[in-house]
Amino acid sequence: NVEQERRGSFVRLLSDCSPKLADLCRVCFHEAASLSASLPAMDAKACVFNYYAEDSPGLRWHRDIDETHENLQEGHGRPVVSVSLGDDCDFAYRAAHFSDPPQKIRLRSGDALVFGGPSRGMPHAVTRIFPGTRPKEVRMPGRINLTFRHHS
């Protein structure tokens, strides 16, 4: 599936990455936490590096399975910080259930998306990549997403 979807990913412990990545995660989270009282504390342990080719159809609808059922039930899902680099994409999500109507936002290079607490278990997908929309300083085609989370 990953090959057909023209994407790839790998996971690294945050402690094995440059400290600048941990700093990026911390800054993004603190900005989001200043705007939302419902976000639990951030405890990122891993960074997932996702790559999408320009002609990738994106990432299918899914719900992250790395959170405990108890945390989700109590609305205390540990936050995820997602940073976009390169080409724009449509990030689609549903309020709580796969049957809920989808909504979407366009993510551009440099955007950070943070979700946690009551929204942590929301179904979501990357439904479209917009080729050639990357900033001119980004020479590699496609999209890179850095996802910081508690564990992989």
pLDDT tens for 27-64 read 999 999 999 888 888 989 999 999 999 999 999 998 87
Q: Is 13 helix (H, G, I), strand (E, B) or coil?
A: strand
Q: What is the pLDDT of residue 120?
A: 79
Q: What are phi and psi of 59, to 5 degrees?
A: -130, 130
The angle at the Cα of 72, spanning 39 to 34, to the nearest 5 degrees, equals: 5
Reference 110, options 132, 128, 88, 94; nearest CA is 88
Q: What proportion of the chain, given as a percentage, has pLDDT over 90?
A: 72
β-pair partners for 85: 144
Using 50, 70 and 90 to split pLDDT, how confident is the model at 8?
Answer: very high
pLDDT tens for 88-109 read 999 999 998 999 999 999 999 9
Reference 31, options 113, 124, 90, 108; nearest CA is 113
Q: Is the pLDDT of residue 140 over 70?
A: yes
CA 86/CA 132 separation, integer angstroms: 9
Q: What are phi and psi of 73, to 5 degrees?
A: -60, -35
Q: Is the pLDDT of residue 70 over 70?
A: no
Q: List helix spans (H) across 57-142.
A: 69-73
CB 83 within 8 A of CB 28: yes
Q: Both ends of the chain: CA-CA distance in Å? A: 19
Q: What is the pLDDT of residue 67?
A: 62
Q: What are phi and psi of 133, to 5 degrees?
A: -95, 0
